[in-house]
Amino acid sequence: MSDKTSYETLRFEKQGTLAIVTIDREKALNALSSQVMAELVALAIELEADESVRVVAITGAGTKAFVAGADIAEMQSKTREEASTFVIAGAKVGTTIEASKKPWIAAVNGFAFGGGCELALCCDFIYASDNAQFGQPEVKLGVIPGLGGTQRLARRVGVAKAKELAMTGDTVNAQEALRIGLADAVFPAAELMAKVTAVAERISANGPHAVAEVKRLVHEGQSLSLEAALAAEQKSFAGCFATADQKEGMAAFLEKPRRKANFTGK
């Protein structure tokens, strides 16, 4: 993996099989600039190729913000054509994370507004600190969510609640986000990363191919009929029996005494 200095707006570190990505623009409340978005895509691709990484967590520098939104100072003077270029580049962050075979966990440690909420929505799980806040306030600036907010939010919390949040621009605290399904768990701020690490360790102990297939099937199945989605699941299940991980996992289960499987992702 590249040296940490390869990225100007990001920091990352590895803790065993977990890679922790930190958006490092604390003075700007970790706002998403064009540079941040380009570096996130590049780092996501790099992490995808690193076989030693099995789970990725993403968070924001400091204690105030996960990501407070897209960089308004950068966007304010853009033309329609320039705005199109900006939002297409931003959307690539989400599609790259969703296409990853590895689970991504959003560790929301403060404000997750606008593009920050949308970044969290791209991830497989959203774990929040008890001081986190979420919202899509773009209408207050005369624009709409452009990085997936009108679509991923509706899939998360339901159509009516998504319209309410995106039309009013209201924000919700961590407990309300948990209640409506926007967050998957809420922890005291001091415990957030330890909880994320613990979940990452449990995931990493499982077969990487199987984990990747679960992510792919759940994601792709949302746009398929139930019949087609079940057929895809059955095909994937059978395909697992051509992997070394299936042989290792079942052999380890049947051994006496039962041992921990040593999965390789093959």
Domain ranges of the chain: 4-204, 208-254
Measured distance CA(213)–CA(4) in Å, rounded: 30
Supply angle C-alpha 98, 120, 107, rounded to 5.
115
> Does the fold of domain 208-254 match that of domain 4-204?
no
198-217 pLDDT, tens digit each: 999 999 999 999 999 999 99
Task: Give percent helix, percent strand, percent coil of the chain, each to the nearest 5.
Answer: 55, 15, 30
At residue 4 the predicted structure's pLDDT band, cuts being 50, 70 and 90, is very low
Q: Which residues contact 148 (CB under 8 A, 6 or more apart)?
A: 91, 94, 118, 121, 122
pLDDT at 65 over 90: yes
Fold assignment, 208-254: Lyase 2-enoyl-coa Hydratase; Chain  A, domain 2 (1.10.12)
Write down the pLDDT at residue 1.
44
Q: Which residues are part of the catalytic machinery?
A: 118, 138
Write down the pLDDT at residue 6.
82
Check if the beta carbon of residue 146 is closer than 8 Å to that of residue 138: yes
**Nearest partner of 97 among 109, 88, 106, judged by Cα:** 106
Q: Taking residues 129-145, report their average pLDDT.
A: 97
Q: Taking residues 235-243, report their average pLDDT.
A: 97
**Nearest partner of 137 among 110, 160, 99, 111, judged by Cα:** 111
- DSSP reduced 3-state for 159: helix
- DSSP reduced 3-state for 114: coil
Beta-bridge partner residues of 198: none
Architecture of the domain made up of 4-204: Alpha-Beta Complex (3.90)
